[in-house]
């Protein structure tokens, strides 16, 4: 809580760029800023679900740095070869599903340490659906996270209750409105789709995933600009790690992505009056994320 008001942390989408959220979590914890709820989209929903499930930033970082390409990407060769234009996606999505399921600390909404909200999009109706809201928790958390990460064309739509859902970033890559609806008094929003105005070069030569990523980024940035104009009067503190040029599936230099999140958060805390006021001293009372993890879970423990 901050001055008796709820603190909401909104983690935006961006694929592997979402590791920058880990750096933000580390800085917030070191400064005694503990969110009362988490809102996540796409890649941000993974980190949000881990944090809401009680994992400390160092634990999330430990897992993130051991993430391999094959843990997430499994080519949909059979359908691409035989169904061709009718194939639903480039990747099967099973690797993503299994990895998310194994690594989340809890899978029932009632078992979460803090409230969690994840946005998705109903593929057939085109409506944004936010799981975690009343009446929207009768489904495993990992299924919702996978749905929010299901980038159209890259991963197949996720079926939940006879409906098919895709990446929440299709409509809102930074769902600040969820935190506003919940009455948060301080909203810390981490945007991974920073718009510098500098055009990329040679995207057309990098293949389907890169082209889909760039198209998705263009849409996400446009929608984010429109959304933020509507929320100018809201108590929003924006953190924008400079990771926009890091590929959504670029598994190299992930430590740099986490560090970018740390530096961006430190800079905003130093400069923003609202966050300065929220910082409390932690010299005598250790807070979640400030104590080194004594024992890291091994792969067997993670899988259970």
72-89 pLDDT tens trace:
998 877 776 777 677 778
Question: Chain-wide mean pLDDT for the chain?
Answer: 87
What residues have CB less than 8 Å from 117, skipping those under 6 apart? 37, 38, 39, 40, 130, 131, 132, 133, 175, 178, 182
pLDDT of residue 100: 97
pLDDT digits (tens, 9 = 90+) for 137-149: 999 999 999 999 9
- Please name which of 59, 53, 60 lies closest in space to residue 18, comparing C-alpha atoms: 60
pLDDT of residue 280: 59
Query: In the chain, what percentage of residues exceed pLDDT 70?
Result: 89
Sign of CA dihedral 126, 130, 134, 140: positive
pLDDT of residue 46: 98
Q: How does residue 203 score in pLDDT terms, banded at 50, 70 and 90?
A: confident
> Is pLDDT larger for residue 217 or for residue 192?
192
Locate all alpha helices (DSSP H) within the chain, ordered by sequence: 20-30, 43-52, 57-64, 77-82, 94-103, 141-148, 176-181, 208-230, 254-271, 273-278, 299-303
- Distance of alpha carbon 76 from alpha carbon 80, whole angstroms: 6
pLDDT digits (tens, 9 = 90+) for 235-286: 999 999 999 888 888 898 899 999 999 999 999 999 988 787 777 543 333 4
- Distance of alpha carbon 156 from alpha carbon 267, whole angstroms: 38
> Is pLDDT larger for residue 177 or for residue 302?
177
- Distance of alpha carbon 246 from alpha carbon 66, whole angstroms: 18
Lowest mean pLDDT among 19-33, 152-166, 187-201: 187-201
Q: How does residue 223 score in pLDDT terms, banded at 50, 70 and 90?
A: confident
CA dihedral 50, 55, 61, 65 (to 10 degrees): -60
- Given a cut of 60, whether residue 170 has pLDDT beyond it is yes
Mean pLDDT of 48-63: 97
pLDDT digits (tens, 9 = 90+) for 98-135: 999 999 999 999 999 999 999 999 999 999 999 999 99
Mean pLDDT of 9-32: 95
What global pTM score does this model have? Answer: 0.87
Lowest mean pLDDT among 66-70, 131-135, 225-229, 250-254: 225-229
Query: In the chain, what percentage of residues exceed pLDDT 90?
Result: 62
């Amino acid at each position: 809580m901050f001055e008796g008001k709820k603190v909401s942390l909104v983690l935006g989408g961006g694929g592997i760029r979402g590791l920058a959220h880990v750096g933000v979590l580390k800085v917030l914890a070191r400064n005694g800023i503990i969110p009362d709820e988490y809102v996540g989209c796409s890649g941000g929903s993974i980190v949000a679900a881990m944090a809401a499930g009680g994992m400390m930033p160092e634990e999330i970082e430990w897992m993130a740095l051991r993430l391999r390409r094959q843990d997430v990407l499994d080519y949909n060769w059979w359908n691409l070869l035989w169904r061709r234009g009718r194939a639903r996606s480039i990747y099967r999505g099973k690797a993503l599903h299994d990895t998310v399921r194994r690594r989340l600390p809890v899978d029932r909404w009632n078992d979460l340490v803090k409230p969690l909200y994840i946005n998705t999009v109903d593929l057939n109706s085109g409506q944004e659906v936010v799981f975690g809201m009343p009446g929207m928790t009768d489904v495993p958390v990992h299924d919702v996270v996978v749905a929010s990460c299901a980038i159209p064309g890259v991963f197949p739509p996720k079926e939940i209750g006879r409906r098919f859902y895709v990446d929440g970033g299709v409509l809102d890559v930074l769902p600040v409105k969820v935190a506003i609806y919940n009455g948060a008094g301080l909203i810390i929003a981490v945007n991974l789709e920073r718009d510098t105005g500098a055009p990329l070069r040679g995207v057309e030569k990098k293949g389907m995933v890169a082209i889909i990523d760039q198209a998705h980024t263009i849409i996400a940035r446009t929608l984010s600009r429109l959304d933020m104009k509507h929320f100018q009067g809201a108590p929003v503190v924006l953190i924008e790690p400079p990771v926009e040029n890091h590929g959504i599936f670029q598994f190299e230099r992930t430590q740099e992505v986490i560090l970018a999140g740390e530096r961006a958060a430190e800079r905003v805390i130093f400069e923003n009056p609202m966050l300065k006021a929220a910082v409390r001293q932690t010299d005598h009372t250790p807070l979640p994320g400030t104590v080194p993890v004594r024992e890291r879970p091994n792969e067997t423990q993670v899988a259970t």
